[in-house]
Amino acid sequence: MDAGFLLQIDDQGLPDTWDMQVPALSVEEYRKLAVIRIDALNHALDGIPEDRVRYHICWGSWHGPHSTDIPLKEIVDLVLRVNAGGYSIEAANPRHEHEWKLWEDVKLPEGKVLIPGVISHSTNHIEHSELVAQRITNFASVVGVENLVAGTDCGFSQRALNPRLHPSIVWAKLQALSEGAKIASKQIFG
């Protein structure tokens, strides 16, 4: 922190382990376990200024239908309990892209930023800049542009995540993010 770095906590476990429990847990039972983990994380973050911490969640990068993912609405309050200045969520994932609308009813805490993924790490399809702009403006409309940082669903890795994701595709996706942000900025600010 003294060197000016931000600390990012990558916690795919919060949403990702929901459907891996054997025997299956109810949402209420799962939330009780998750609260213990969140409290432990906050204890570990004690003394680190919140504005220097980013908290990232995703539903895991395994290749599959993700048809049993826990909905963000079931855990969003737990995400916001983490003592962080920014919350990075997977939002370009087609299973969860619609969840931007829940921010109409969920209030982002004062002084916090939301970092939704507007490009995906799990497909070699390069998002169109207009789609990226649409995703950005959707989030801006519900959390406010001053509380928004456009991001990626997760990091780009050549190891296990998607070995077919050639670096040229990654750079093209990042270019689409940049171009989409320019389009969204023109739409928002004129």
Q: What is the DSSP string of 120-164?
A: -SS-SPPPPHHHHHHHHHHHHHHH-GGGB--EESS---TTTT-TT
Predicted confidence at residue 158, as pLDDT, reads 56
Q: Domain spans of the chain?
A: 7-189
pLDDT averaged per 10 residues in sequence order, the chain, 190 residues: 91 87 91 96 96 93 81 97 97 94 97 97 92 98 98 75 75 97 97
Bridge partners of residue 151, in order along the sequence: 117
Predicted confidence at residue 164, as pLDDT, reads 66
Predicted confidence at residue 87, as pLDDT, reads 98
Architecture of the 7-189 domain: Alpha-Beta Barrel (3.20)
Q: Which helix (H) or strand (E) holds 167?
A: helix 167-189
Predicted confidence at residue 17, as pLDDT, reads 85
Give residue 82's Cα distance to chain centre.
14
Predicted confidence at residue 147, as pLDDT, reads 98
Instruction: Return the axis-axis angle of helices 167-189 and 129-143, rounded to nearest 10°.
Output: 50
